[in-house]
Amino acid sequence: MDDVTQTDIAIIGGGLAGAAMAASLADSEYSVTLLDARPWPDSPDLTDKHQPRVSAVTPGTIKFLKTLGAWEQIPASRVSPYTRMHVREADGTGEINFSADDLRIDSLGCIVENHLIQAALLAKLNASVNVRTLAPTTVTACERLRDHNLLNLSDGKSLRARLVIAADGARSPMRDLLKIPVRAWDYHHHAIVTTVYTEQPHQQTARQIFHDEGVLAFLPLSAAGPESEGQHACSIVWSVQPDQAETMMVMDDQQFLAALGHRSEYWLGDIKACEQRFSFPLRQCHARRYFQDGVVLIGDAAHSIHPLAGQGANLGFQDVACLSRIIKQGDRELTDPVLLRRYQRERRPANLLMAGVMEGFKQLYADQPLPIRWLRNKGMHYAGQWPLIKNELVRQALA
């Protein structure tokens, strides 16, 4: 029994949702153990270039990160506010523009590298007295006993936890261990992500272009690294069919930049350079229930959506804020189904709604007959002409 330790709450996964969950419970009455399969990252080197994985965090998410004391830990020089968003259809007449000025706010959100958000959250945990971290380690088995779960770990030790929170990603091993059913489908698209440097400045504008093969997004970045000058760095997310992705990944940089410039219609002039490219398949997955046997799912373990609007990380932070608030109410045992059902009742419909909206956009902008294409162009055009409708759309996305 010397190899069995005890904790009130075990959080599996130290990514954005898991680290935020631990930070939200820092200095609470509960003992918390955060586990991750990877070693904890070193403190970020701000002389390095941008990392390829970024998030478009909304004002609502920024407010939440401030309550955790994490937002101030992110270097301001690596936070890129965007004040405008331009969405258009390739080879069509439909386009719509959103502006922070129209909403009387400072910005529509900020583009931030994921590893910087994670580092800020882990820095918060280092100062906490009730949170300990274990990494690298994985859970090999989970057994539900009378009032706790017994987790067997890859290092041969065990952890006894009253509540287990699974934040271990879209292909969650904890969800699989519990055999929680999911509704999942493959988009038959791959996302290519990288950082590019453009001839013209991005002017703090996020840009998306829809085409029959997928979606291309340019997300404005702050200056970083010796190759970046002012507002000339952007993170791109380009969804294409798998055979196209395979072709693009073996192109040399000049071939890739030429293809990217053509597809972007040279919004920002020539694409001058790019960093290493990465590609991953796109799929949507949603758990049919968010809790079972003293284990509750958050973030991508509960739901993953198309990166069309960059809402995945924001939905995960909303899960964390909701579950943390319910846990801290302290009116029931941690694993009481009534308590966990409150979380599921609040978050599952909201996440399903966003998943449905993203799927609708994906289907609408797939290769469609000419009449459908005409109708969607007109719909986008008229939405842009009605400020009340347009501003309500963006207010919902900024929550």
Please write the tens of the pLDDT for every residue from 128-178.
Answer: 999 999 999 999 999 999 889 999 999 999 999 999 999 999 999 999 999
Inter-CA distances, 322 with 22, 292, 293, 319, Å: 13, 18, 20, 5
Residue numbers of the domain that contains 313: 4-44+121-184+284-362
Measured distance CA(355)–CA(220) in Å, rounded: 25
60-104 residue pLDDT tens: 999 999 999 999 999 998 999 999 988 887 766 667 788 888 888
Domain count, the chain: 1
Measured distance CA(363)–CA(19) in Å, rounded: 34
Measured distance CA(193)–CA(177) in Å, rounded: 31
* CA nearest neighbour of 152 among 19, 12, 32: 12
Q: Categorize the per-residue pLDDT at 398 as very low, low, confident or very high, splitting at 50, 70 and 90.
A: low
**Is position 88 within any domain?**
no
Geometric angle at alpha carbon 221, from 215 and 224, rounded to 5°: 140
**Is position 324 within any domain?**
yes
Q: Residue 269: left if φ>0, alpha if ψ -120 to 50, beta else—which one?
A: left
**Is position 310 within any domain?**
yes
**Is position 374 within any domain?**
no
82: Cβ–Cβ under 8 A, 6 or more apart, which residues?
56, 107, 108, 109, 110, 111, 204, 205, 206, 219, 220
- CATH number of the domain enclosing 25: 3.50.50.60
**Is position 264 within any domain?**
no
**Is position 147 within any domain?**
yes
* CA nearest neighbour of 10 among 157, 215, 182: 157
**Is position 100 within any domain?**
no
pTM of the full structure: 0.89
| pLDDT of the residue at 309 | 58
Is 391's pLDDT higher than 70?
A: no
Measured distance CA(17)–CA(198) in Å, rounded: 32
**Is position 352 within any domain?**
yes
278-314 residue pLDDT tens: 999 988 899 999 999 999 999 999 999 877 656 789 9
| pLDDT of the residue at 96 | 78
